[in-house]
């Protein structure tokens, strides 16, 4: 785990960023950049030991960001931009403003998303970092394209400023008590509320879920691997997991019968990411998804009885 560094973290009020802030703040001089629009979010971060900075990336409100940061972990993103213009301003241009401000950093970590991979017809395909891009998520058509635009800006500024950079294409993360918990957290909330869960009718949808505990450990490898030109790595688990299997496992743990609606409209795409390159830079996966999902349920809903204690 990273220790003894000056780190700038964006997106710390979100799912993954909240976990990172809690873990990194006690061991580093951690600065957290956000708009802090949710009541109490800034106070919560400061209680955790974060030095908060109020600013808006898209508006280039970065004057309070120290110029002598060691590492930047850029998680902030609009995952559901209503228009391409909003997505470009926040996910692409805002990233450019941030990297310009932090161009002297020892490493810049840009967290992208694997929804930008172009669909492959093979359901068993392991998406590699060199695969074709151009995809998007059905629930957010402008997210993947504008994150890809952000990657382009990061790659250019990496070379222009000679800032060691790594682009991490995130799959499905879980474990956090923050925000909506991502896809696994949303599935859990649907099960608890008795809402139907949409799954693909014509295929098995699988993802590469990754525990946020493993993600924290990966940061150390990312800053070491950052380079010029920018390095791209998949940031998912080391195993493909069927979403239906995860749903039924969670349902069994909490003692409910899942309501599953099989349809091919608006369901998440199949994305199993290849961990081969990640292993080559030192990434390891210590948390089995069964154990991680059980811990997530206990963390998010301590009032819920979990099978097996």
Residue length, the chain? Answer: 309
Q: Do residues 126 and 190 share a domain?
A: no
Dist. CA 303–CA 237, nearest whole Å? 28
Q: pTM of this prediction? A: 0.96
Token duo for residue 46: 């400061």
Any domain includes 199? yes
Q: Do residues 185 and 225 share a domain?
A: no
Any domain includes 254? yes
Token duo for residue 153: 């800006």
- Per-residue pLDDT, 269: 82
Q: Do residues 126 and 188 share a domain?
A: no
Any domain includes 1? no
Q: Do residues 15 and 55 share a domain?
A: yes
Q: Do residues 19 and 50 share a domain?
A: yes
- Per-residue pLDDT, 140: 81
Any domain includes 202? yes
Domain extent at residue 295: 180-206+239-271+286-300
Q: Do residues 21 and 106 share a domain?
A: yes
Any domain includes 277? no
Dist. CA 275–CA 15, nearest whole Å? 23
Q: Do residues 96 and 39 share a domain?
A: yes
Q: Do residues 222 and 261 share a domain?
A: no
Q: Do residues 22 and 60 share a domain?
A: yes
Dist. CA 288–CA 23, nearest whole Å? 20
Dist. CA 139–CA 271, nearest whole Å? 15
- Per-residue pLDDT, 90: 96
Contact in structure between 110 and 8 (CB atoms under 8 Å): no
Q: Do residues 192 and 214 share a domain?
A: no
Question: CA nearest 6: which of 36, 26, 31, 42?
Answer: 31
Q: Do residues 43 and 28 share a domain?
A: yes
- Per-residue pLDDT, 265: 85
Q: Do residues 128 and 201 share a domain?
A: no
Report how many domains make up the chain: 2
Any domain includes 81? yes
Dist. CA 297–CA 247, nearest whole Å? 12
Alpha helices (runs of H) in 67-171, residue ranges in sequence order: 84-87, 94-101, 143-161
Dist. CA 21–CA 73, nearest whole Å? 11
- Per-residue pLDDT, 266: 77
Dist. CA 37–CA 121, nearest whole Å? 41
Q: At 43, which CATH number?
A: 3.40.50.720
Cβ-based neighbour number of residue 3 at 10 Å: 9
Any domain includes 58? yes
- Per-residue pLDDT, 146: 95
Q: At 296, which CATH number?
A: 3.90.25.10
The tens place of each residue's pLDDT in the chain, 309 residues long, gives 899 999 999 999 999 999 999 999 999 999 999 999 999 999 999 999 999 999 999 999 999 999 999 999 999 999 889 999 999 999 999 999 999 999 999 999 999 999 899 999 898 899 999 999 998 777 788 899 999 999 999 999 999 999 999 999 999 999 999 998 999 999 999 999 999 999 999 989 999 999 999 999 999 999 999 999 999 999 999 999 999 999 999 999 999 999 999 998 878 888 999 999 999 999 999 999 999 999 999 999 999 999 987
């Amino acid at each position: 785990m990273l220790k003894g560094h000056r780190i700038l973290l964006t997106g710390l009020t979100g799912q993954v960023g909240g976990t990172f802030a809690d873990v990194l703040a006690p061991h580093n001089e951690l600065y957290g950049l956000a708009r802090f629009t949710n009541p109490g979010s800034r106070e919560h971060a400061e209680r955790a030991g974060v030095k908060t900075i109020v600013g808006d990336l898209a508006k280039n409100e970065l004057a309070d960001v120290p110029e002598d940061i060691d590492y930047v972990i850029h998680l902030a993103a609009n995952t559901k931009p209503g228009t391409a213009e909003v997505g470009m301003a926040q996910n692409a241009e805002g990233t450019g403003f941030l990297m310009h401000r932090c161009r002297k950093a020892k490493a810049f970590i840009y967290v992208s998303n694997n929804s930008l991979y172009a669909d492959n017809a093979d359901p068993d395909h392991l998406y590699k970092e060199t695969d074709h891009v151009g995809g998007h998520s059905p629930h957010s058509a402008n997210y993947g394209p504008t994150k890809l635009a952000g990657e382009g800006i990061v790659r250019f500024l990496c070379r222009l400023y000679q800032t060691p950079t790594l682009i991490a294409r995130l799959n499905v993360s879980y474990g956090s008590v923050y925000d909506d918990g991502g896809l696994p957290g949303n599935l859990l909330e649907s099960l608890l509320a008795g809402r139907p869960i949409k799954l693909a009718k014509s295929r098995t949808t699988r993802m590469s879920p990754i525990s946020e505990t493993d993600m924290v450990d990966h940061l150390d490898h990312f800053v070491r691997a950052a380079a010029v030109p920018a390095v791209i790595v998949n940031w998912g688990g080391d195993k493909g997991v069927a979403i239906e299997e995860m749903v039924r496992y969670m349902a069994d743990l909490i003692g409910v019968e899942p309501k599953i609606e099989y349809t091919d409209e608006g369901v998440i795409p199949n994305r199993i990411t290849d961990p081969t390159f990640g292993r080559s830079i030192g990434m390891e996966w210590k948390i089995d998804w069964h154990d991680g999902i059980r811990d997530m349920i206990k963390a998010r809903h301590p009032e819920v009885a979990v099978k097996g204690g």
